[in-house]
Structure 1
Amino acid sequence: ERVLNMLSDLEPLCSPGKCYTYQNTLFAVIEEYFANQNTSYQQALTKTIIEPLGMPNASVGKQALKASKKWAKPHVAISKNKWRSTSVKDDYYRYSPAAGVNASLEDMIVWMRALLGEEPSVIKPELIKQVTEPRVKSKKELYRRQWRNHLSDAHYGLGWRVYEFKGHKLNYHGGWVKGYRADVAFSPEFGVGYVMLMNAESNLINEFTPDFWARCFEHLESLQLTAKVGD
């Protein structure tokens, strides 16, 4: 509450549409909206997405995570090849809309199918189009070491990065909290989705994700060429 009350005194870095920054606190405003409607973000998410899509393990909150029979403990590196488990940070769950949702790979497969348009009654096509519409140029993404050889353009949408990856649109989102890493991406052009979840802060994910998409698009392009020659 103290942090939210300070938002009105902040001076914006630039006018809307000119730049962007990711800030957990602003996502927390969504929680206040639901509270004013005598409900909660957890109830709204469960009612409108988790239950209609049939996501078997998805939940909101730290207690829900620990209540799961098979929850992945977070890990941090203590040396180059050694890891240790660590505790789940309470701070992330203070802002559920930003970093308080739990999901298994099985849940994410269901979610990815919805983003690819397979559940239009729950996740409408126009909503997917709205959140993945390029809104703000994001030049710094073009210089990421593992991505820079593949990207020709990069923007930020609503929670999604929108890349021009080897001539193809790729919608991407990456998550990182203490002990966990996650990458989610999908190609609406080819109907291909990708999810990688890690219960460790490993940089492997930085290399694996762009490499997957480079190989994927190369393969799909070759299939298109073969079909065109065959015709």
Structure 2
Amino acid sequence: MPGHSKLRIIRSGARFGLVAMLLATPVAAYAPAALTAQDAHSVGPAQTVTTLLARSEDPFAGFEAFVTGVMEDWTIPGVAVGVIRDGEVLLTRGFGYRDLEAELPVTEHTTMAIGSNSKSFTVTLMGMLVDQGKLEWDRPVRDYLPDFRLHDEFATAEMTPRDLVTHQSGLPRHDNVWYGRTGSRAEIFAKLRYLEPNASFRSRYQYQNLMFMTAGYLTERITGEDWDDLIEQRIFGPLGMERSNTSVRDTPTSGDYAVPYLLRDGTLTRVPFRNIDAVGPAGSVNSNVTEMLAYIQAHIDGGVFGGHRLLSEETSANMQQPQFAMPGESEFTELGQASYGLGLRVSSYRGHKMVAHGGGIDGFISSMSWLPRERIGVMVLTNRSGDMNPVPAMIAYNVYDRLLGLDPVDWNARNLELRDEQRARAEKTRREQEAKRVSGTQPSHVLADYAGSYEHAGYGGMAIQVRDGGLVIVYEDFELDLEHFHYDIFRITSPPNIVPVTGLVSFTTNADGVVGAVAIPFEPNGTDIVFERAGS
């Protein structure tokens, strides 16, 4: 795929700057120095601009070939890359297309979803409230939200703001409570009490979006302002992130924006934008690599940007220090043991401390990272989800190899091998499930008896319908096709979304001979979610 846009040139002394944050009047985003005739040559639509970071040796020599090569291997329509070192923007560039059908190129200003990289924005906002004395990390959440309630009474009483943003609530993800569903933050907040944990409080790291939504809701209740407005006023504005937003509803207004694509079994499909405003504090920010470099630099500088303080030194350090150990070890020696900080992951890359996070939502996968001691930061955005997409992280690692002067690791070959292993495991699982199938069985009822409305206090309502001789689960934006597996158990045959629902669905019959409940594997890391027939 062709490369597009420009690699920006920054001469020594050109630095990012941040104005004071406390609702100060926003200033324009930093603009890197323009290309001169000495720096670049004239290019056509499919050409690129040559950047001379060092006239004797260019660390980005061959970078275009590397990026376009991994894009081809992983079927990625478009990529944007931003690199900053010690406050100097070394590179902001787009590759491929933000819209394949219209052949519109990705640029350094192309807006894409950053997904869960939004979590650190929420923590940054919380940190500002801590610095103002309006919030304490280790006071009970119920001191601020008296109506906060979880299924576990002990967790309800002891949960702190720090716990909310370090994934130790004891809850599995329960993402299908919000994914593709309607409902406000307040409504979802009220449902938390009906969601069962699968571990005791603070016993285990488990990634959890709903707790980050709660953290954002907490900032709303403390300030009396919407989380979206707070992010705009207290982070976007001071950083000059004028094209960034907190809702895909606003993304098209930027003009230069990417459309989402999904790869499934080798087929690339354009998909609709996924609106996740209700859980925005966990993942709804949309931005571009140029503006995200300003955000990264603010964190590299310990909360200071352009001589003005965004966060206190203590709060900034807390965000980038381990808070809770993440399980397991990487099979690759270059990646150190990971812990979770406050909205950020803390580990190492080839012996260098690395602070990072990833993000994914329908059609977009991203990577944000920096090496705080070396003062290098990298932002990578892509507009393709679905099948495995390690491209953002691979590009970041390649940049670090280049700027650290290390022999490059062939992350692409490693991940292609992992992809093959992943496919083999999936096929093995499918065969094992099929081997457990009892042949010659039939449902105990005619299909119409399974149809109807079903309810769960936390997950809300859904319907079972008979369609084209089979059963279909319908819940708001989604439909799941079912095929009979054995007895009163049916198998989901619809391809998984970014929040997957796969496996077996079980119906139960009550003492009156009526199909009264259905158990659906909405939470893969816990027990199936049981929906009762409405009115039963």
1:88 is matched with which residue: 273, 278, 287? 273
TM-fit CA distance, 1:195: 0.6
TM-fit CA distance, 1:12: 6.5
What is the alpha-carbon distance in structure 2 between the residues aligned to residue 204 and residue 93 of structure 1?
Answer: 26
What is the alpha-carbon distance in structure 1 between the residues aligned to residue 219 and residue 338 of structure 2?
Answer: 33
What is the alpha-carbon distance in structure 1 between the residues aligned to residue 273 and residue 313 of structure 2?
Answer: 35
| Structure 1 residue 6 corresponds to structure 2 residue 194 | no
1:180 is matched with which residue: 351, 359, 364? 364
| Structure 1 residue 209 corresponds to structure 2 residue 393 | no
| Gap runs ≥5 in structure 1 | 220-231
Max Rg structure? 2
Deviations along 1:166-196, one digit per CA (max 9) or x if unpaired, are 2221001000111001100011111100110
TM-fit CA distance, 1:79: 4.9
Partners of 2:205 and 2:327 within 8 A in 1: no
| Structure 1 residue 191 corresponds to structure 2 residue 375 | yes
Quote the residue 1:227 is aligned against. none
TM-fit CA distance, 1:78: 4.5
What is the alpha-carbon distance in structure 1 between the residues aligned to residue 252 and residue 289 of structure 2?
Answer: 17
- The TM-score normalised by the length of structure 2 is 0.37
| Structure 1 residue 58 corresponds to structure 2 residue 260 | no
What is the alpha-carbon distance in structure 2 between the residues aligned to residue 95 and residue 83 of structure 1?
Answer: 27
| Structure 1 residue 41 corresponds to structure 2 residue 41 | no
| Structure 1 residue 131 corresponds to structure 2 residue 316 | no
TM-fit CA distance, 1:129: 0.9
Q: 1:40 to 1:3 in 2, by over 3 A?
A: closer
| Gap runs ≥5 in structure 2 | 1-185, 407-536
| 1:122 aligned partner, one-letter code | L
TM-fit CA distance, 1:2: 4.5
Secondary structure, in 3 states, of the residue corresponding to 1:139? coil
What is the alpha-carbon distance in structure 2 between the residues aligned to residue 153 and residue 35 of structure 1?
Answer: 35
| Structure 1 residue 67 corresponds to structure 2 residue 273 | no
What is the alpha-carbon distance in structure 2 between the residues aligned to residue 59 and residue 123 of structure 1?
Answer: 21
Deviations along 1:35-62, one digit per CA (max 9) or x if unpaired, are 4343100111111111011112111112
RMSD: 2.3
Secondary structure, in 3 states, of the residue corresponding to 1:56? coil
What is the alpha-carbon distance in structure 2 between the residues aligned to residue 123 and residue 39 of structure 1?
Answer: 20
What is the alpha-carbon distance in structure 2 between the residues aligned to residue 20 and residue 7 of structure 1?
Answer: 18
Question: Alignment length, in residue pairs?
Answer: 213
What fraction of aligned residue pairs are identical, expressed as a percent?
Answer: 20
| Structure 1 residue 24 corresponds to structure 2 residue 212 | no
TM-fit CA distance, 1:209: 2.9
Q: 1:88 to 1:187 in 2, by over 3 A?
A: same
Secondary structure, in 3 states, of the residue corresponding to 1:63? coil
Partners of 1:56 and 1:106 within 8 A in 2: no
Secondary structure, in 3 states, of the residue corresponding to 1:94? helix
| Structure 1 residue 167 corresponds to structure 2 residue 351 | yes
What is the alpha-carbon distance in structure 2 between the residues aligned to residue 169 and residue 123 of structure 1?
Answer: 21
Q: Larger % of helix: which?
A: 1
Partners of 1:74 and 1:86 within 8 A in 2: yes
What is the alpha-carbon distance in structure 2 between the residues aligned to residue 85 and residue 141 of structure 1?
Answer: 35
- The TM-score normalised by the length of structure 1 is 0.81
Q: 1:185 to 1:141 in 2, by over 3 A?
A: farther
| 1:41 aligned partner, one-letter code | W
What is the alpha-carbon distance in structure 2 between the residues aligned to residue 207 and residue 7 of structure 1?
Answer: 36
